[in-house]
Structure 1
Amino acid sequence: MSPIKVVVADDQKMVRAGLRMVIETEPDMAVVGEAGDGVEAVALARRLRPDVVLMDIAMPRQDGLAATRALLATPSPPRIVVLTTFDTDENLYNALRAGASGFLLKVSSPEHLLSAIRVVASGEALLDPAVTTRVIAAFAGQPGPRPPAALAELTGREADVLRLMARGQSNAEIAAALTLGEATVKTHVARVLMKLGLRDRVQAVVYAYESGLVRAGSGFSPGQP
């Protein structure tokens, strides 16, 4: 099997060098390019067709948010993991809406970084639990939405699964909360994404909060409206 192709986009050379060093210790990954700004990141990704782009938010010429939107507007785009710090709540909210597949703190361990790359390369989505808390806080400040008609297409159980997904719970945690098997939860997750036209769990988080299905600080009870 061919290695996971990664492009690293960060305006700091030392950060890029450190990320490359960690990634290239793994036989199933390869850094195929480095970019120092968003414009270069978009051009490299379009030319090299990586599986994953590690995208810093704060970069010159074009920031990571604009670069993410540009890449995800292209056919068969790469999966994008946004590299971030705690002081960018609004950027996190905007990156979620832009369609990034994951978020990773720059202080994360090498093991966490490698796991994140593998997770998003496999088609899943990743939200660092610590980042998720900040994102939910950002959503709390948004105006109250009107629930879209598509929510009515979900069964009660599917709505419960979506509420728990929005709280950052894994399939195993959702299974425990709802007394279901993990395979059943996986099926429910797939149906939720299909019915709502969503790509992955990150988009599901956005949808759940923007639709008003879940509100920051609210509790959870199965079957709640």
Structure 2
Amino acid sequence: MITVIIAEDHQALIDGMKSFLKNERDIQIIGHANDGFSLIENARKLKPKVIITDIRMPKCDGILATKTIKAELPDTKIIAFSMFDHDDAISQMKEAGASGYIMKNSSLQTVLDAIRAVSQGYSYFVNEAENEYEVSKNELFFSSREKEILQLIAEGKSSQEIAEILFIEKSTVDSHRKNMSKKIKTIGKNDLTKFALERKYDYL
């Protein structure tokens, strides 16, 4: 289970993320904070696997909070959450120990991908200017569901067949395919199938 604390001074954003993430079986929101000091206190008490924190918060900003938490809880992964795509802010959060940086106008799916990525040891930094993201490690990050779908694509299954096998909607399969295509930066219609075939045995 990926335990998460969200730190944000706008309660509506916290409520929106909590509502979106509550149905994810591998993620549990165990706390939230509206300022940096409360975040540090909650992190010490609850020891989450992942923290999503705003950079600009009352009492103590996200950069100082990240430094403090990483010094005490080095295994906790921290994702910066900001309205601003400033290289200086990103570099400061990296130096403080953050594993990711996402924009407040990012999709909730991006938030979900970032949580899963950093929990597995990846870094996840969104670039608003290019509307792209960078996932850093030795290989691309795919969620467990995406790995299942990739394997079935490699076996020649259609989206409808995959949906029936996994007991999900075909539209959900199509959405996953679209997200995976973005991750591997495909161009042609059959590029994802080619990629799946090349990686057929990687996700068994």
- TM-score over 0.5 for the alignment? yes
TM-score (norm 2): 0.62
CA contact (8 A) 1:38 1:61 kept: yes
Amino acid at match of 1:99: G
CA contact (8 A) 2:51 2:77 kept: yes
Separation in structure 2 between the aligned mates of residue 87 and residue 115 of structure 1, nearest angstrom: 19
Higher strand fraction (1 or 2): 2
Separation in structure 2 between the aligned mates of residue 96 and residue 132 of structure 1, nearest angstrom: 20
**Moved segments of 4+, more than 4 Å:** 167-173
TM-score (norm 1): 0.56
CA contact (8 A) 1:10 1:16 kept: yes
- Per the alignment, residue 22 of structure 1 pairs with 20
Shift of the 60–28 alpha-carbon distance from structure 1 to 2, 3 Å rule, reads same
- Per the alignment, residue 68 of structure 1 pairs with 66
Percent of residue pairs identical? 32
What is the aligned counterpart of 1:43 among 41, 44, 56? 41
Separation in structure 2 between the aligned mates of residue 23 and residue 121 of structure 1, nearest angstrom: 15
Cα deviation, 1:59-90, whole Å, max 9, x if unaligned, reads 00001000000001114441000001235432
Separation in structure 1 between the aligned mates of residue 55 and residue 136 of structure 2, nearest angstrom: 25
Find the residue that maps to 1:73 and give its secondary structure.
Answer: helix
Shift of the 168–117 alpha-carbon distance from structure 1 to 2, 3 Å rule, reads closer
Structure 1, unmatched stretches of 5+, are 134-166, 174-225
**Aligned-pair RMSD on alpha carbons?**
2.3
Separation in structure 2 between the aligned mates of residue 20 and residue 86 of structure 1, nearest angstrom: 22
Q: Does 1:126 align with 2:124?
A: yes
CA contact (8 A) 1:9 1:35 kept: yes
Shift of the 110–60 alpha-carbon distance from structure 1 to 2, 3 Å rule, reads same
- Tell me which of the two structures has the higher relative contact order, counting C-alpha pairs closer than 8 angstroms and 6 or more residues apart: 1
Shift of the 130–87 alpha-carbon distance from structure 1 to 2, 3 Å rule, reads closer
Which residues of 2 match residues 108-123 of structure 1 at below 5 A?
A: 108-123=106-121
Shift of the 132–48 alpha-carbon distance from structure 1 to 2, 3 Å rule, reads farther
Separation in structure 2 between the aligned mates of residue 124 and residue 15 of structure 1, nearest angstrom: 25
Shift of the 75–83 alpha-carbon distance from structure 1 to 2, 3 Å rule, reads closer
What is the aligned counterpart of 1:59 among 46, 57, 62? 57
How many residues were matched structurally?
138
Amino acid at match of 1:79: K
- Per the alignment, residue 34 of structure 1 pairs with 32
Find the residue that maps to 1:128 and give its secondary structure.
Answer: strand
Shift of 1:171: 4.9
CA contact (8 A) 2:79 2:100 kept: yes
